[in-house]
């Protein structure tokens, strides 16, 4: 036991002498290698990126996104998300945000991302008259007035192609806006006059039948009752297909626009 203690004391003394060396003293190559190895050991407070694989399998990630709100059905959507312990990404029309500021605050407070969806939602104004960036920045200010945060992610009404021309994309990039389209359109907006018995299964099928990739961005709307009815079945079906649910993060932005414009 005494010999073991002596060896430990000698080892500690040698380590202290080594770490106390000045920068002018030489250190062996083997010691440098050991220091590098030690530096590579992960520690609990080291920031970690979202893993691309889990249990040696590629993660399947889905982003639920809701356009045109907030509206009278938004609280029901938020309730469903909370019941399933997931979050989503909401793209707001500025005038609707002004009408329902409490819903905007709730979206953010419950862990969702709140983004921009213009003021007018008018194709001619946004893309022909060229008000896209102006309207997004106005919506951004409205959201900032409500929540204290100024989001930079915008969802172009009707999608970025063909309306978001080179000139408008240049303006958006100069304004530090990011742009997200989608990979799957639920087509929930097309069933406004169709009974739930037909519209809800169709919406669910539109999503689940097209969810094949490892990363999907799904377009829905929180202003339609048929969307609310379909949402629980969509969540269940995506889980059964092995998807994890994520919400947009500005620090982990990835390109998702039809133009494949890397600036956006």
Across residues 106-128, what is the average pLDDT? 98
Dist CA 38 CA 211 (whole Å): 43
pLDDT score of 58: 84
Out of 67, 68, 188, 222, which one is annotated catalytic? 67
Dihedral sign from CA coordinates of 188, 121, 101, 245 = positive
Judge whether 260 lies within some domain.
no
Over residues 161-184, the pLDDT tens digits come to 999 999 999 999 999 999 999 999
Out of 87, 117, 221, 224, which one is annotated catalytic? 221
Over residues 135-157, the pLDDT tens digits come to 999 999 999 999 999 999 999 99
Residue ranges making up the domain that contains 147: 63-252
Judge whether 175 lies within some domain.
yes
Asked if the model's pLDDT at residue 32 lies above 60, the reply is: no
Instruction: Tokens 């029309």: give the residue.
Output: 93
> Is 221 among the catalytic positions?
yes
Judge whether 24 lies within some domain.
no
pLDDT bin (cut points 50, 70, 90) of residue 36 is very low
pTM of structure: 0.79
Residue 183: exposed, middle, or buried by beta-carbon count in 10 A (0-12, 13-18, 19+)? middle
Judge whether 48 lies within some domain.
no
pLDDT score of 55: 53
Judge whether 200 lies within some domain.
yes
Judge whether 176 lies within some domain.
yes
Judge whether 41 lies within some domain.
no
Out of 9-18, 89-98, 171-180, 196-205, pick the least confident.
Answer: 9-18
Total number of domains constituting the chain: 1
Dist CA 88 CA 81 (whole Å): 8
Judge whether 57 lies within some domain.
no
Q: What is the CATH number of the domain that holds 213?
A: 3.20.20.370
Instruction: Tokens 């590098």: give the residue.
Output: 36
> Is 87 among the catalytic positions?
no
């Amino acid at each position: 036991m005494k010999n073991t203690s002596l060896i430990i004391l000698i080892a500690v003394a040698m380590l202290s002498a080594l770490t106390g060396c000045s920068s002018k003293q030489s250190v062996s190559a083997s010691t440098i290698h050991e220091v590098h190895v030690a530096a590579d050991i992960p520690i609990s407070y080291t920031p970690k990126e979202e893993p691309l694989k889990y249990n040696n399998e590629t993660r399947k990630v889905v982003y639920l996104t809701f356009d045109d709100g907030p509206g009278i059905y938004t609280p029901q959507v938020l309730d469903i998300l909370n019941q399933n312990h997931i979050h989503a990404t909401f793209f707001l029309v500025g005038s609707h945000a002004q009408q329902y500021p409490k819903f905007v605050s709730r979206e953010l407070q419950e862990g969702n991302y709140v983004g921009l969806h213009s003021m007018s939602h008018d194709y001619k104004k946004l893309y022909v008259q060229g008000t896209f960036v102006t309207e997004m920045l106005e919506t951004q200010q409205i959201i900032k007035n409500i929540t204290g945060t100024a989001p930079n992610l915008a969802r172009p009404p009707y999608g970025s192609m063909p309306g978001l021309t080179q000139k408008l994309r240049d303006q958006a990039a100069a304004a530090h806006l990011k742009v997200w389209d989608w990979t799957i359109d639920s087509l929930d907006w097309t069933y406004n006059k169709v009974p739930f018995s037909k519209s809800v299964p169709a919406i669910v099928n539109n999503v689940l039948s097209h969810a094949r990739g490892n990363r999907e961005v799904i377009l829905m709307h929180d202003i339609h009752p048929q969307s609310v009815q379909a949402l629980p079945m969509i969540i269940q079906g995506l889980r059964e297909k092995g998807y994890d649910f994520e919400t947009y993060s500005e620090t982990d932005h990835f390109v998702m626009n039809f133009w494949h414009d890397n600036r956006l």
